[in-house]
Amino acid sequence: MSDLPQGSTIIKVTQALIDAYAAIAGDFNPVHVDPVFAATTPFGATIAHGCIPMEPIFRLVQAHLGRPVMPQGSRMKLRYLRPSHPGDTIGIVVKTQHESGLEFQCVNQSGQPVIEGEVRYG
């Protein structure tokens, strides 16, 4: 969808970002912040909190609507498809767009979807 802003929506995942988000959310789940523990899990390395690869959809919608926050009453449905790791770059692909919302995928630098979902504007 060429009429939606894309560039500002990209987020670079780093361990420093994950650690700082953990401090804000109080979420020190070792799968996020403990590389030694995370290496023993099926993920093989730390993974970002789900809210981090979600960031692009907030940025996209807010930029598109010209608002600093989501419109009141907005609804969002998400499915987490695969984890995001330090070193990943997460962007967004809009699958369909209509007056009241859009369907999207957050994708990593390999084009793999990490989150898919839909937003309905309030």
Residues forming contacts to other proteins in the complex (CB under 8 A) are 11, 17, 20-21, 24-31, 41, 49-51, 54-55, 58, 62, 68-80, 117, 122
Contact present, 78 and 117 (Cβ < 8 Å):
yes
Nearer to other proteins, 50 or 93 (CB): 50
Mapped onto helix, strand or coil, the DSSP state of residue 16 is: helix
Nearer to other proteins, 78 or 93 (CB): 78
Q: How far is CA 97 from CA 64, 87, 101, 103, 104, in A?
A: 11, 30, 6, 6, 9
Nearer to other proteins, 30 or 44 (CB): 30
Least separation in angstroms between CB 71 and other proteins: 8
SS (H, E, C) 41-68: CCCCCCCCCCHHHHHHHHHHHHHHHCCC
Least separation in angstroms between CB 46 and other proteins: 13
Least separation in angstroms between CB 88 and other proteins: 16
